[in-house]
Structure 1
């Protein structure tokens, strides 16, 4: 698998005092260029340059590789060492800045990146086509609404009917909220019901606020029905559970 490397220079790279000092030396721009070439040369080895002994000196060997003047390379190597930008370990030379400037990408990653870019380009073209179609639809819709407005003006009873249907659709379905014992007592006092609130609460709490097999929809109505049938109430021991729920089911 191929792997691509690149050098990511920070935006303040040339503002680094050491780089500025290197550039101010006579021939400094050439030295700076050589430094960048050396960093590129060491990308695949994490900033390590190895002296193979092909030439008598390291600078002579680098001159052969990057096609730069041997004397200029020697000046750069001496400068990097004096500024702490390069360290030597036997026949290996480490460029310390490289590790913070390396970028890499496998060839498969590169292919996926190109594929995503291609898909995005296709999506943009499709989107443009959809926008054109959308514009046509909007024009047609405006024209149809104009006709509809004239028709409703001539037939006002239709508009009234539509508004009524619209209101029915927008009416939200009431969600059951389980009451607290305090809610039951308050409602009992308000409606003056003949209900033992604790018995009512305990009974339906034990059943998960279900009436038969259906969830309770309106506890107030169930409580009123319980009050009306209070005189006919019989303990569960004398009556089956199903019959008991039938007596108190809100219809």
Structure 2
């Protein structure tokens, strides 16, 4: 995101455990343990888009991963070898571990293709011995999240009087999530995004002019209903 990484999650398809690689993995002795280790490494790598390095610079040793996943060190060692053989992970000379399939499971957004290209670019840079470049617009994790969000996602200014209204650009899921987090309204960003994306970003029959205004409308409806159910929020905005 100059994606504001306010939260990290995976989306697994309902047939995840029926996929060929997972079936093959779990058919091995201790395979169920290996798939558990794999999922934990996927989740741990989300903060850095599929790259595993402690604090970004320290390689994870087998013993560290064993402590992280709460599995025996010998089990972790076997699992990592199998993951490499199955081309599920790539371990670089620097010690960085890239989870090669995790991009298929990160929450869907309109920037999915850009995210995958960014992942491949960072991995290739590091393989060639270059310092992984920070993405344009990316803000240091040392900055407090509240500051990061407010510095990127401010309420847009009103269009100039008598001037042309700016062309509406649909937000990403991450932008919606960051704005909802800023307002602390509890709205499910992905549900909001999917709802309007399926409607072609229209409010009723009219093209949407401000997605942030639509968020506020959902927020007000939820307060009025007092039920906390997002479904009730649709009443004003369909």
Q: TM-score, normalised by structure 2?
A: 0.45
Greater relative contact order, per chain length (Cα 8 Å cut-off, separation 6+): 2
Q: TM-score, normalised by structure 1?
A: 0.43
Higher helix proportion (structure 1 or 2): 1
